[in-house]
Structure formats: structure tokens, C-alpha cells
Amino acid sequence: MPNERPRLGPTLHGIDGDEDDPDYVPDGYDESVVWSGLGILPFAIAPHDVPDAVPSAAKRSIEYYVEHHIPFVALRDGQALVIDDEEHHIAG
């Protein structure tokens, strides 16, 4: 198994950084990094978005998504993405 956490969106790009170091490979894992997501959702999710906070992993992810024209949904702590068939909304 590659060394990434599965993402429901189209890509893993934008999540690399302090929290998700793409160069860290635990012993016993393949050293290649797979950047494609599962593609279940047509957008990426940027969790832990905090308005007016100092630069954070979430802010860096959002900047990456905007710069690379990747659709995304930003979630603050305590929020959840609720999906019902083709529709979705943020709860919390």
C-alpha cells in the first residue's frame, strides 16, 4: 500500500506539508507516492479551516486548490459534509 491516507476527492495534491509529509515512508511500505484520489467525490475536502488564522495546513491546501483550479469544500472543526444522493450540504 502506498504511503498516503485515502482521499475521497480527485487528488491528494494540496495536502502535502507539515501534517502529511509525502517524503515520509514507514518501514515496510512502498516508496512510491500515488497522488490520485479515489474520485468518489468531484471535489477535494479541506478540513480544519479556521478563518483569520495564521497560515495552516488547511490554508495552504485551499491556496493550492484555488491556484490549480481544483474544486473543494472547506470544513471548519465541528462541521461535517452530508451527502444525500447527488446533493450535499455542510452540517454543524
What is the sign of the dihedral through the CA atoms of 52, 56, 57 and 61? Answer: positive
Q: What residue spans of 1-92 are helical by DSSP H?
A: 57-67
Report whether 45 contacts 72 (CB < 8 A): yes
β-pair type (44-46, 72-74): parallel
In whole angstroms, give the CA distance from residue 56 to residue 70: 19
Q: What is the mean pLDDT of the chain?
A: 76
Could you list the residue range(s) of the whole structural domain that residue 2 is in?
A: 1-92
In this predicted model, what pLDDT tens digit does every residue of 15-45 receive, in sequence order? 665 555 666 677 787 777 677 777 888 888 8
Q: How many residues does the chain have?
A: 92
Domains contained in the chain, number: 1
**pTM for this one?**
0.65
Phi, psi for 54 (deg, rounded to 5): -60, 160
